[in-house]
A and B are shown apart, each in its own frame.
Chain A
Amino acid sequence: MIVAERKSLDEILAMLQGCSRVLVAGCGTCVTVCMAGGEKEVGVLASLLRLAARRDGRTVEVGEATVERQCEWEFVDRLAPVIGGYDAVLSMGCGAGVQTIAQRFGGARVLPAVNTKFIGIPEKQGMWVEMCLGCGDCILDRTGGICPVARCSKSLLNGPCGGSQGGKCEVSQDITCAWQLIYDRLAALGRLDLLEKEFAPKDWSKNRDGGPRRVTREAIML
């Protein structure tokens, strides 16, 4: 899933300068699951905005609306009846959600309330870690199911580097060296032979190099 994190309130308040009617829009999918922008977080942020206004002696009208997925036209359509009454829409969806709303409602000022961080998993309740960079050319078959592109701090394809110490990455003791993990995993699988073949330089044209990417499937298209 996509993992996001709410922006600091100061940043959000700065974005909202001059807005007295704000719609906080949540998304019921990824950001609900990663607890950054579901209905509950919408309620919390809306409350905080009202409290900030109360503190400053301003008045502000804050609306709350959460749709199933902000990255679908049909779902964001549901905002249509209410959106007109607001100076700004504060989207708690990921970057895709913010843009979907912005694109759908040309006249609305749509602002991001969260920072979209990565594709990842909850390592445990309350802690999420990055797992995939969406590089467009997956190599997990050769790395024991552990992604060096996302999880090696340097995205090395032929790691580890000299900074791998006691299984930890030199960038931070909180990071487990992805190449250590890959080695251990392949050793356990009896497939260390996979490491004998060097990785060719990665073909980044499948990633951002070719501009914004697109996936099409003719058969499904209407």
Chain B
Amino acid sequence: MQSSRVVVVGAGVAGMSTARSLAAAGARVTLIEARERVGGMAADYACKGTDRCNKCNVCLVHDLVRDVTSRPAIEVMTGCRLDGAQALPAGGYRLRVGGREADCSAVVLATGFEPFDASGRPELGYGVHPAVITALDLERALRDGGALEEKLGRPVASVAFVQCVGSRDLRCGRGYCSRVCCMYSLRMARAVRHRNPSAEVTVFYMDFQGAGKDPGDLRRKAEAEDGVRFIRARPSEVAPVGDDGRAMVWFEDPDAGACRLAAFDLVVLAVGIAPDRDARALADMFGLGVDEFGFFAPADRADAAVTRAPGVFIAGACGGPRDIAESVADGERAALAVLREQAARRARERAALSLSAGTWPGRRVLPGKPETMEVSSTVLVLGGGVAGMEAARMLSDLGCRAVIVEEGPYLGGQAGGASSLLARMDEDASVDVLVSSRLARLGGQVGSFEATCEGPGGLVSEVSAGAVIVATGCRRELPEATRELASRDDVVGLSALEEMGLPWAGGEENDGDCAGGGGRAVIWVGVRPDTARAVFHQALCAALSALAAGWEVYVLAPEVAVPEPGDERLYLEARGAGAVFVKYREEPQVEAGAALRVIVMDPSLGGGAGDDVPGALAIDADVLVVSEEAYPQSGTSHLATVLQVNAGPAGFFQDDNVNFLPVLTNRRGIFAVGGCRGAAALSDAIFDAHVAAYLAARLVGTGRLHVDWATARVDPKKCALCLTCIRTCPHRAIDVDGEARAAKVSRAACWGCGTCASECPGKAICLESCTDDEILAQVTPAVTAFCCDHSALIAARTAMASGPSGVAAAGLNVIPVPCSGKVDVIHLLKAFEQGAAAVMVAGCFDEGCHFLSGNRRAHLRVGEVASLLRTVGIEPERVRFYHIGPDMSAAFLKAAEETMQVARELGAVTGRRAG
């Protein structure tokens, strides 16, 4: 019999995520890792949190490590390489791993990447000048907190980041953008400034590649709050100068139009992502394709986890540059692909997966028998665009019924949708469609949502659904500045281009008055940084097609966004074919008379030296193509209220919190995919749809949900129905139970943070995994630190393990809590009652809380306790709140030291006014 075991090669974030996801879906998994520890590259990185979370995603690694090492279904083998593979006749492979042989049904390669070897650009002086380090070196130096000067052994008063080292560089054979380095440098720049507030930070860059929900905000903050200078230049050389050991950076100053030199204490090379050196051998072992740069190539770009070798899948950066969040999501996608293939191969019934609710950040398992509840395996899909239809298709493949609710009169949405997909929606008996309908009300909780949909002519349909996928897309509209041009014939929206007919397609019909027989096109991509990567591909394609028709082409954009695979090549191609790219700082002006004239300041036409006005370029355009900006659909905030889900930056669905990427919302069982959670390229929207369908199916697909995690419970006898918990639960997991006349926690929907228990004025709520009695039993007269499981506790453990000077030796009493939101005012007061001279609470950064707002509640409570202490004449500084990232053991030590210092200085709370 064929082994059903799945082998995952590489325990970086992608491999760990794949293994975790497969295990949650009931598979047995072996995770092979060449190094002696799991975690991959990112396990060496630092949390870049400053006063708040900077969304670097590094803390996701800690959750993954904890999960894969604690799940019995996952066998972890470290220090092992994959030495050979032989395909088995019945499918699957016999693998040789460290001298052992093992059979498996499928292999997921998650072997990651290698950072570009910076000595491959000798002119930048890496390995020669001690002032030159790589971003990887800086990650390590930032880790654990502590003084940077000490760790790096040099001053850091002025720091330069040099971007695109080993990326976007044909000289070293890397004609692609590494996608992650702009954002990591930005975050590191902030982290450096946070450690050394007087440091001056300069970033030498080509184009800023935004990623995440609100990259523009991060960049603005870096510029405005941290004074980070962005200079658009690619330094040609780094040389040491003088005996102060500083490094001189040679660059072409875009403002002066001349070569300049600047000295820095530290030059950080933002090394890019290169294929792993063993990738080629692994590709040969399985007969995989690799792309021109050496990354594993999927058989079909639309399904990036599937390779041309049967039973072999890929996840993470081994398939091309990806950041951590993308690699984690990639792991889900790979798990989905494995399970689908296996279900198909075994010709089993659909819904062959053995499912459990899986996992989420912050889950604490409840020992004992899981509670099994009947759930509906129908999934409500809001929006019948491509993402909604893809979700429905995948749900049907996974054995669920999908009900699509589409507001418009037909399916298809903005992109229209491939006819095969439309036909599938039509034919598939597991897909029902309600057009001209909208969701009016949603009651219930995950597993048993009750949806009321209003259709044409006031027709009302009730749908019972286990989960909801929101795929309502976004609204694309010309940016404010160009909106009044929209009615002109010679102004076209980028996404409407194909539909309207390419203006340059007709050749002679366009009476262009320009050379080359064609006309002159201006393509203006002036969108927000979070939108740019979703539209730039289209812009480049438009430019190339206009060039091919013999037109002159100008592309105006603040940044050239090319992180998507292949786009750098298209960009170079377009430039090679004569397109002029103007990276402007100030918005271009359009003079719209009988003809169009676009005026733009081109910083690269800075005139001669001494001329400080950038050159103005006036372009008489036959056609102006303007990329649309993405806005939330007009009904988004109403829908958010109906669904009780949160909106994030710019009003799109989903909080700006790394723990919820890519498709989770604050409520279990409600997923947001594609444009409704922010501007998304079509491929991203489809990716989202597949991941969400998979997660929904894993949750409710079998019709049964096993709740094996710890939740809150309300004692109805003590509940006064004050509604506090219902209003405060970040996950909206509590409803009024009409029969019991009390609040009731939906066990399926509860994430187990304990926030409600610590807000309830009646002390009617108990969190099973961490009861008040359990907490109080741990309170002692020692200085106490309440630590969140996901952040400070991890840091505390590292700090305590790190030697005799550790805080444990000094007698700090560390009390773990699932979320700092579980720490109640009473717990803190009790600690003082017991004799603690000082107490600290440590949780995640703002916007980094695994339960969204638990840390904010905790912070507020600490403030309240401080003022309560003051009322009894006790020094308020005895109670303290800290934000501590999971890898910040030094920060933890510092916080603990500070707290213990307060305790020493103020002494015990006792008898000082004795009388």
Interface residues of A (CB under 8 A from B): 8-10, 28-29, 32-33, 35, 38-41, 43-44, 47-48, 50-52, 54-57, 66, 125
**A residues near B762, Cβ cutoff 8 Å:** 28, 32, 38-40, 66
Inter-subunit contact B910/A47 (CB<8 Å): no
Among candidates B721, B869, B872, B914, residue contacting A57 with C-beta atoms closer than 8 Å:
B914
A162 CB, min distance to chain B CBs, angstroms: 40
Inter-subunit contact B913/A55 (CB<8 Å): yes
Inter-subunit contact B833/A57 (CB<8 Å): no
Determine the distance from Cα of A195 to Cα of B455 in the docked complex, in whole angstroms: 43
Tell me the chain B residues, 296-313 only, with Cβ under 8 Å from chain A.
none
Determine the distance from Cα of A48 to Cα of B829 in the docked complex, in whole angstroms: 7
**B residues near A28, Cβ cutoff 8 Å:** 718, 720, 762
- With A8-B871, A9-B872, A40-B826 already in contact, the answer to whether A51 and B722 are too (CB < 8 A) is no
**A residues near B872, Cβ cutoff 8 Å:** 9, 48, 51-52, 55
- Sample of 8 more A-B contacts, CB < 8 Å, known A33-B761, A55-B910, A57-B914: A28-B720, A33-B721, A39-B762, A40-B760, A40-B824, A44-B829, A54-B833, A56-B911
Inter-subunit contact B761/A52 (CB<8 Å): no
- With A32-B722, A38-B763, A51-B874 already in contact, the answer to whether A56 and B727 are too (CB < 8 A) is no
**B residues near A57, Cβ cutoff 8 Å:** 910-915
- With A33-B761, A55-B909, A55-B913 already in contact, the answer to whether A50 and B868 are too (CB < 8 A) is no
B231 contacts A by Cβ under 8 Å:
no
Inter-subunit contact A47/B761 (CB<8 Å): no
Inter-subunit contact A50/B833 (CB<8 Å): yes
B633 contacts A by Cβ under 8 Å:
no
- With A57-B910, A57-B912 already in contact, the answer to whether A32 and B720 are too (CB < 8 A) is yes
B89 contacts A by Cβ under 8 Å:
no
Among candidates A32, A33, A54, residue contacting B910 with C-beta atoms closer than 8 Å:
A54
**B residues near A43, Cβ cutoff 8 Å:** 763, 826, 829
**B residues near A29, Cβ cutoff 8 Å:** 720
Inter-subunit contact A47/B830 (CB<8 Å): yes
Determine the distance from Cα of A125 to Cα of B760 in the docked complex, in whole angstroms: 12
- With A38-B762, A41-B761, A57-B912 already in contact, the answer to whether A51 and B718 are too (CB < 8 A) is no
Inter-subunit contact B763/A44 (CB<8 Å): no
Determine the distance from Cα of A55 to Cα of B874 in the docked complex, in whole angstroms: 7
Chain A CB count within 10 A is highest, among B720, B760, B829, for B720
Inter-subunit contact A38/B761 (CB<8 Å): yes
Chain B CB count within 10 A is highest, among A39, A41, A55, for A55
Determine the distance from Cα of A125 to Cα of B723 in the docked complex, in whole angstroms: 9
22 contacts between A and B (CB under 8 A): A10-B871, A28-B718, A29-B720, A33-B761, A35-B722, A39-B762, A40-B763, A41-B761, A44-B868, A47-B829, A48-B829, A48-B868, A48-B872, A50-B833, A51-B829, A51-B872, A52-B872, A54-B909, A55-B873, A55-B910, A57-B911, A57-B914
B906 CB, min distance to chain A CBs, angstroms: 12
- With A32-B722, A35-B722, A38-B720 already in contact, the answer to whether A48 and B914 are too (CB < 8 A) is no
Chain B CB count within 10 A is highest, among A10, A32, A38, A39, for A32
Inter-subunit contact A51/B869 (CB<8 Å): yes
Determine the distance from Cα of A55 to Cα of B873 in the docked complex, in whole angstroms: 8
Chain A CB count within 10 A is highest, among B872, B911, B914, for B872
B140 CB, min distance to chain A CBs, angstroms: 44
- With A47-B833, A55-B874 already in contact, the answer to whether A32 and B761 are too (CB < 8 A) is yes
Closest to A124 in B: B727
B206 contacts A by Cβ under 8 Å:
no
**B residues near A8, Cβ cutoff 8 Å:** 871
B832 contacts A by Cβ under 8 Å:
yes
Inter-subunit contact A51/B833 (CB<8 Å): yes
B176 CB, min distance to chain A CBs, angstroms: 50
Inter-subunit contact A39/B761 (CB<8 Å): yes
Closest to B759 in A: A40
Determine the distance from Cα of A40 to Cα of B761 in the docked complex, in whole angstroms: 5
B825 contacts A by Cβ under 8 Å:
yes
Per-position binary interface string of chain B over residues 702-736, scored 1 when its CB falls under 8 Å from any chain A CB and 0 otherwise:
00000000000000001011101001100000000
Tell me the chain B residues, 811-833 only, with Cβ under 8 Å from chain A.
824-826, 829-830, 832-833
Determine the distance from Cα of A54 to Cα of B836 in the docked complex, in whole angstroms: 12
**A residues near B913, Cβ cutoff 8 Å:** 55-57
Among candidates B763, B871, B874, residue contacting A39 with C-beta atoms closer than 8 Å:
B763
Inter-subunit contact A39/B718 (CB<8 Å): yes
4 smallest CB-CB distances across A and B, nearest first, come from: A57-B911, A57-B914, A47-B829, A33-B722
**B residues near A51, Cβ cutoff 8 Å:** 829, 832-833, 869, 872, 874, 909
**B residues near A10, Cβ cutoff 8 Å:** 871
**B residues near A39, Cβ cutoff 8 Å:** 718, 761-764
Closest to B728 in A: A125
Inter-subunit contact B720/A44 (CB<8 Å): no
**A residues near B832, Cβ cutoff 8 Å:** 47, 51
Determine the distance from Cα of A9 to Cα of B871 in the docked complex, in whole angstroms: 6
A36 CB, min distance to chain B CBs, angstroms: 9
**A residues near B763, Cβ cutoff 8 Å:** 38-40, 43
Closest to B760 in A: A40
Closest to A32 in B: B720
